[in-house]
Amino acid sequence: METIRITISSGTGSRTVCNQLAEAGLIEDAAAFDQYLIDSGYSKRISAGTFEIPIGASDEEIAKIITRSR
Determine the structural domain holding residue 19 and report its residue range.
Answer: 3-66
Assess contact for 55 and 26: CB atoms under 8 A: yes
Q: Number of structural domains, the chain?
A: 1
In this prediction, residue 39 carries a pLDDT of 98
Chain mean pLDDT for the chain: 96
Candidates 45, 24, 21, 47; CA nearest to 32 is 21
Question: Over the range 11-49, which residues count as b (16 or more CB within 10 Å of their CB) and which as e?
Answer: eeebeebbbbbbeeebbeebeebbebbeeeebbeebeee
* pLDDT on residue 70: 60
Q: What is the average per-residue pLDDT within 25-43?
A: 98
Spatial CB neighbours of 21, under 8 Å, sequence gap ≥ 6 = 6, 27, 30, 33, 53, 62
* CATH number of residue 7's parent domain: 3.30.1490.480
- For residue 60, the model assigns a pLDDT of 97
